[in-house]
Amino acid sequence: MSYKNVEQTIIRTVVKIGKKAIEIIEKLLFPPRCIFCTSILDIHAKVNICRECHKVLGYIGNKLYYVNKFFSKNLWQHKYFDRIFCVFEYSGYVKEAIIRYKYFGKAWYYKTFAWLLANMLLNNNAGSFSRSSINNEYDMIISVPLHKERAKKRGYNQACLISKELSRIMKIPEVSSLLVRTKNTTPQSLLHNEERSKNIKNAFKVTDVNKVKGKKILLVDDVMTTGSTVNECSRVLKEAGAVKVDIAVIAVAFVFEL
């Protein structure tokens, strides 16, 4: 090995050690916290959720079947998506964490939310997937688009951050740019159930029909309430020729009588 190579190897090693040291100092000063109860986690924690929350949070688990049945039967004459996958019921700590994520600048929560979604999809809570079959299940991941102005105001698009991370974990391409919001609608949360479908009608557009035609799509959002938004996105995607649109959300907010 030449002198120059030795020098380069030493520099690379020093930089690597330096980066690791900064990371450790950062974690000691700002220890990782559970995104739900905010308790301090082990310094090596890869996902920001504590054991206690893991045990007590309102996971949908095997109630997923009833969630799908409920949305199929009760909400629309025309349902355009195929299946719904969700991790939690929208209440308690989950609701508080999602509100902090969307409205109080906690953008970094996206990693944990994406991990929880991937975990649910891959670990058979959802029923039919395995690590080897998931890539045949979907051609692409798309997130529910936020209007440009609202994304600018918030500084980030909460659904898109989750879908990009989910794409990285599940190794399925993320192409959220294929679906855009053309209308800056009134926030759905401010409307009554029956007003929501009207408000969201014709608010979305597929940017390149050829890239959607014949594709199996996983559509990602943070919370599903009446489902009007994801249903309208699915309508546009199906009309552009998508053969399957499944919905993946962190939480379902509708009050179920299961």
Q: How far is the CB of 37 from Zn ion (least distance, A)?
A: 3
DSSP string, 238-250: HHTT-SEEEEEEE
Candidate residues 36, 70, 110, 113; the one interacting with Zn ion per rule CB under 5 A: 36
Q: Mark residues 123-162: x for contact with Zn ion by CB under 5 A, - for none.
A: ----------------------------------------
Q: Report the relative pairing of strands 179-181 and 204-206 from DSSP bridges.
A: antiparallel
Q: How far is the CB of 51 from Zn ion (least distance, A)?
A: 8
Q: How many residues bind Zn ion (CB under 5 A)?
A: 5
| Region from 27-35, 68-76, 140-148, 243-251 binding Zn ion, contact rule CB under 5 A | 27-35
Candidate residues 41, 50, 162, 252; the one interacting with Zn ion per rule CB under 5 A: 50
Considering beta carbons, is residue 42 or 149 the nearer one to Zn ion?
Answer: 42
Answer yes or no whether residue 57 interacts with Zn ion by CB under 5 A.
no
DSSP string, the chain: --HHHHHHHHHHHHHHHHHHHHHHHHHHHS--B-TTT--B--TT-SSS--HHHHHHS-B-GGGHHHHHHHHHHHT-S------EEEEEES-HHHHHHHHHHHHSS-GGGHHHHHHHHHHHHHTTSSSS--TTTHHHH-SEEEEPP--HHHHHHHSS-HHHHHHHHHHHHHT--B-GGGEEE-S-PPPGGGS-HHHHHHHHTT-EEES-HHHHTT-EEEEEEEEESSSHHHHHHHHHHHHTT-SEEEEEEEEE-S----
Answer yes or no whether residue 53 interacts with Zn ion by CB under 5 A.
yes
| Region from 48-56, 84-92, 118-126, 146-154 binding Zn ion, contact rule CB under 5 A | 48-56
Considering beta carbons, is residue 40 or 209 the nearer one to Zn ion?
Answer: 40
Please give the Cα distance from 84 to 228 (Å, whole number). 13
Answer yes or no whether residue 107 interacts with Zn ion by CB under 5 A.
no
Candidate residues 34, 98, 247, 251; the one interacting with Zn ion per rule CB under 5 A: 34
Q: How far is the CB of 45 from Zn ion (least distance, A)?
A: 11
Q: Mark residues 207-236: x for contact with Zn ion by CB under 5 A, - for none.
A: ------------------------------
Considering beta carbons, is residue 34 or 248 the nearer one to Zn ion?
Answer: 34
Per CB under 5 A, residues contacting Zn ion are 34, 36-37, 50, 53
